[in-house]
Amino acid sequence: MRREKVILTVLASALLAVPWPVRAQTTGAVGLEITPSQTELDLPGHSYETTLTLFNHDPVTYKVDLSLEALGHDLDGAPEYFPSSVVSNAFSLSATSFSLAQDQKKQILLKGAIPAAAHSIYFGVIAAYARPDQQQGSSVETRTRLGSEFLLRGPKPWTQRLQITDVGVLPGTGRNATLYAIAKNVGNVHVRPTGTVTVSKNGRRIARFAFALNAAHKPGAIIPGFARRLTAVWTPPADLTGTFTVTATTQNPAAAASKTVSFRNGKALAPDAKIVNLSVQNSSGVVVDSQVTNVGTGALTGAKLTFVATQDGRFERGRMVFPIASLAPGATVEKRWSPGPLPDGAYQITATLEQGGTLLDQRVAGVRVGAALTSGARTPLLAIAGVLLALVLAVVLWFLFFRRRDEDREQRAGSRAV
Amino acid sequence: MKKILAAGIVALAIGAMALPASAATSVQTVDATLGSTLAMTATPSSTVSWTLASTGANTTSGGSLTVNSNAPYTATVTADKTKMTEWITASSAYASSPKTLSTALSVSGSRSAGTAAVAGVGATAVVGTSTSLATGTGLGTDTYDVTLSQPTLITDSALPSGQTYHIVLTYTASATF
């Protein structure tokens, strides 16, 4: 009996002592996890560093590759990432390629500074990861990425300026209509505007709505140089017919614009077309392919599709305008542009679809021409090391020179004495 | 007498030690931050050998995506090519002068499971750039079944053995901003 007790005690102790695997995260955690997923800060200076954590919850070993890319967004606010030498020169990561088994985590140091001439920087740390069987042998290969976004503003003063480039109404589903304003950030830091849109006739207000928020109590962000569609859904009266004035007003920062729109029996009479595809490839020169589809109920006439190639989002290196004379409802037209030789660098290709003064759609894609530059965040360290090395060499040479001179003097003095 | 004196000293000492604790008010401020976090997993695609009909709408499962987040998120899909493009299986590379299918591939996400209090919403994305596939409010898990649709026309070229139409889809999950 006593022996049994001893055995049970030993077994219990062993059970308690064995480091059984424990899932460190909350129930339901899956996949590869990145923390933080978004960082929005107003910095007291230009320098910034933080630690990102990657945690693998899946029962596979992921090969993870990290990269830094510029952050932008499409008209509807979906994040877009582009290669950017500005970002890769400004920030660096302590590791960029590693494997993570289940329940393993890795902490990565992100370090750098907003460029001296800039007031803000917007980028993503992109974690591309794949399980061993994910990328091979399929007619449709799938790859997966997580983005950790950084919206960093440097010290004030900032220029917070918004320009409403278009206002209008789009036919929505059923009896709904979507009132919208295209707001472009022409300042030097990101903004989160709120605002309203009104519909009026001969100065009499018919409807007034606040623009939809991105999340509870949080208006969507607009990054400098990018435009975002602020929207409000309206169900107009079924007999609404005629011309009306749509006025959009924003706060933080303030902007306003108006436009005349038409309705017939409650249905908005407006063109509605989408850039359903924008693909940029660089093989023996950059080639841009795009498709435009008329998703409205009437023919799209007098539209144009404009491609602009911008190096690092700052320097325009090419532009092409394709007129779209007429496009039937539901029809699609394809356009291809080869901008010709471009200097090595990171490029944003912006496709803008317009009809008259109406901006129908806009998309941005990125491409890199030539090899990626090595991170410039280490350049100052290399420079310091170079200067130190030069100083050491100079001291050694100086020392050898004087020592040799002293030896010669001593030798000459010795010879005279003899 | 000595015992009483000693007991008195001990009692005074204990009282002296206890007094500050009972008389002072200690305020402890606790601040805690909770960082935003985002995780995603994708089941392997089930389209290893997708046999397309010569004409019509071809659909197949593209597996599923599960997103786990404590903040609103957006999932997007991008492709390396405008359309499915001729691929040489032996060299694992696109043909030098490739044929392409005439219609773009579309990818749709449909929420099939999850724990998020406000369910995420799937969307249909035609292959392009940063086309939204799903958006969610986070605070839990959303699982999306992914369906691939590749319409074909009789004018699309058949390919010889050892060649396929190929495309690479990249799913990206980011916090909504």
What pLDDT, in 10s, does the model give residues A127-137?
A: 999 877 655 55
Predicted structure pTM score: 0.74
User: DSSP letters along A43-69, please?
Assistant: -SSSEEEEEEEEEE-SSSPEEEEEEEE
What pLDDT, in 10s, does the model give residues B87-96?
A: 998 888 899 8
pLDDT for the residue numbered A104:
96
Burial string for A217-235 (b: 16+ CB within 10 Å, else e) reads eebbbbbbbbbbbbbbebe
- Looking at the structure of chain B, the number of domains it has is 1
CB contact set of B124 (below 8 Å; sequence gap of 6+): B106, B107, B108, B109
Task: Say if CB A70 and CB A83 are below 8 A apart.
Answer: yes
Give A30's pLDDT tier (boundaries 50, 70, 90): confident
List, as ranges, residues 190-229 from A with C-beta within 8 Å of B. 214-215, 220-221
Give A382's pLDDT tier (boundaries 50, 70, 90): very low
- Give the residue numbers spanning the domain of B113: 39-175
Task: Say if CB B147 and CB B108 are below 8 A apart.
Answer: yes
CA A220 to chain centre: 14
Smallest Cβ–Cβ distance between A31 and the set B66, B87, B130 belongs to B66
> Looking at the domain assignment, is residue B24 inside a domain?
no
CB contact set of B165 (below 8 Å; sequence gap of 6+): A139, B52, B84, B85, B86, B87, B100, B101, B159
What pLDDT, in 10s, does the model give residues A50-73?
A: 999 999 999 999 999 999 999 999
List, as ranges, residues 32-71 from B with C-beta within 8 Å of A. 35-42, 44-45, 47-50, 62-63, 66-69, 71
Q: Give the integer Cα–Cα distance in Å for A12 and A14.
A: 5
Smallest Cβ–Cβ distance between B82 and the set A35, A221, A277 belongs to A277
Task: For A142, name the nearest residue in chain B, comparing CA atoms only.
Answer: B169
Q: Average pLDDT over chain B, rounded to whole?
A: 80
Report the DSSP beta bridge partners of residue A52: A108
Alpha-carbon distance values, B139 to A18, B41, B84, B119, B161 (Å): 34, 16, 36, 10, 48
CATH topology of domain A159-270: Immunoglobulin-like (2.60.40)
pLDDT for the residue numbered B18:
47
**Which of A5-9, A162-166, B66-70, B78-82 is the least confident region?**
A5-9
pLDDT for the residue numbered A195:
95
Residues of chain A contacting residue B124, judged by C-beta atoms under 8 Å apart: none
Domain boundaries, chain A: 31-153, 159-270, 272-389
Residue A345, pLDDT > 70, answer: yes
Q: Give the integer Cα–Cα distance in Å for A153 and A160.
A: 11
Task: For B39, name the nearest residue in chain A, comparing CA atoms only.
Answer: A33
Q: Give the integer Cα–Cα distance in Å for A3 and A9.
A: 10
Predicted interface score ipTM higher than 0.85: no
Task: Say if CB A263 and CB A241 are below 8 A apart.
Answer: yes
Task: Write down the architecture of domain A272-389 according to CATH.
Answer: Sandwich (2.60)
Q: A140–B82: do the CB atoms touch at under 8 Å?
A: no
Task: Say if CB A323 and CB A316 are below 8 A apart.
Answer: no
Question: What would you report as the CA-atom Rg of chain B, rounded to the nearest whole angstrom?
Answer: 32
> Looking at the domain assignment, is residue B27 inside a domain?
no
Domain A31-153: CATH superfamily, name plus number: Immunoglobulins (2.60.40.10)
Q: Give the integer Cα–Cα distance in Å for A324 and A301.
A: 7
> Looking at the domain assignment, is residue B143 inside a domain?
yes
CA distance A89 to chain B (A): 23
Q: B39–A291: do the CB atoms touch at under 8 Å?
A: no
A71 backbone φψ class: left, alpha, beta (φ>0; ψ -120 to 50) = beta
> Looking at the domain assignment, is residue B9 inside a domain?
no
pLDDT for the residue numbered B33:
81
Q: Give the integer Cα–Cα distance in Å for B110 and B28.
A: 48
- Nearest 10 degrees: Cα torsion A362, A368, A374, A375: 0
What pLDDT, in 10s, does the model give residues A85-100?
A: 999 999 999 999 999 9
Place of tokens 């799903």: B134
